[in-house]
Every structure is written in structure tokens, then in C-alpha cells.
A = this chain, B = another copy of it.
């Protein structure tokens, strides 16, 4: 049934409502962009007051899982290009301008076994397969970032067979639309590294130059890791912007 509405001991009512709605989103019963039932409809369904449903939905809205729009309804959050850019792309020009990586040149797109790091990050066995995409992203007209994206092949069945030209600049929207996988949160580890000779060639710099390495693990709603993305970025007139609230 699609009605797992339990209150497992002392959990507040609104939390049970929240989790029930969450379950429908996670299971795909409610897809990104869909409108949720109205507050009153949910209140009626779960036999709680409208205020309790409101608190549950406000909670989900605070976590960016749904978007509430007065007069229209409550909708499951979707990956728009702006959201992807503002939410997941943190490289900014030093003058504060938000320059997006306009072009990206795909170097390769293949299917292979994961290395130790990838297997660990994506919770895979060494015998499993991953699809690896390597590309160079340009900013302000010049090559600025080398990127190696790695995803479990089982969830992205034909990704390696797509023509290289078909890979869009914004991957997360494609994950969502084409494979039904919504990236919800990510954690990034940043380090300073020396450019390898390969990096140097790709970015037009001297080997040994300092590069900002960003190692990102992206997760779905239910916490499964879906992507390991290792980027090396030239921080020349640019920086990684982090806000601590």
C-alpha cells in the first residue's frame, strides 16, 4: 500500500505526516515538479488538522524538498538550471560575478570497473561497473576545470553509449529527467594539489601549478551516493565561495 502512516512511538504527529509524504517522493509516486495534494486534502487523508499538515510541509520546504507557492500549491522540488548553478556550483569570479561554465568539452565517456576510492564512495563492489565521464569545462572563454564524473552503471544503463556530444553541461537535470534520479545533497572535500602534466596540458598551465581539487559525493533523497565527481580548478581570478551562517 502507499499509506505507511505509522507513529513509531513518541514521534510527533507532524513528523509522521512529513515522513509519509517523504516516502511518496522517495518512491517516485510523487515526481519532481508534481503538485502535492492541498493541505486540507492531506489533513483529511491522515485525519489530522490542517495546521499539523502545514508544519509537516513547512519542514519539507525548509529542507528544499518541496516548494510552496501561495495561491498555486506545493510542489516537489526539481532541478532547474538555476538551482543547479546556485546550489551546486560554487566557483565565482573574484569580482563576485557569477560566471557559469558555458562550454564543456567531453574527452571520454566509458564504462569500466571502479577504483578503490570510487567503490568506497559509491558503495560498490570492485566487480561492479561505473560510467566515467571526463571533460574540460571552460569559464570566461578559457579552459578552467578538469572533471572526472563517476556514476554506478547499474543506475545509468545506457549512459556510456550516448554520443559524447549528447552529454549536456548540466548533468543533474539529465539524471533526473532521463534516469529518474534526483540529486538532493552533496558533500565536497577541498584540497590544494599540484597540476599533473596531464592537467597542465588540459588547462594550458605549467606542471606543478597549484590547483583546487574538489571531490564531491552527491546523494539521493534517501542518502544513497550516486556520483563521485573529482574536479581540478584553476583559481586564477576566481575562487570557491563558501558561506557560513
Chain A residues at the B interface, C-beta cutoff of 8 Å: 62-64, 87-88, 90, 94, 185-194, 208-213, 215, 233, 235, 238-245
Contact = CB atoms under 8 A, between A and B. Distances in A.
Contact of A186 (B213, B215, B244): B244
Given A188-B241, A192-B212, A193-B210, 14 more contacts: A62-B62, A94-B189, A187-B243, A187-B244, A188-B243, A188-B244, A189-B239, A190-B190, A191-B212, A191-B240, A210-B210, A210-B211, A215-B239, A242-B242
A87 to B, nearest CB: 7
A245 B88 CA distance: 9
A178 B88 CA distance: 39
Given A64-B245, A88-B244, A210-B211, A192 B189 contact: no
A194 B208 CA distance: 9
B211 A244 contact: no
A239 B191 CA distance: 5
Contacts of A193: 192, 210, 235
A235 B189 CA distance: 10
Contact of A242 (B62, B187, B209): B187
Number of identical protomers: 2
A239 B235 CA distance: 17
A188 B64 contact: no
Nearest to A238: B191
A233 B62 CA distance: 34
A235 B192 CA distance: 6
A90 B185 CA distance: 18
Nearest to A244: B186
A87 B212 contact: no
Contact of A185 (B215, B238, B245): B245
A235 B63 contact: no
Contacts of A212: 190-192, 212
A105 B186 CA distance: 35
A139 B185 CA distance: 29
Contacts of A188: 241-244
Given A62-B62, A208-B208, A191 B235 contact: yes
Q: Which of A63, A94, A242 has the most CB of B within 10 A?
A: A242
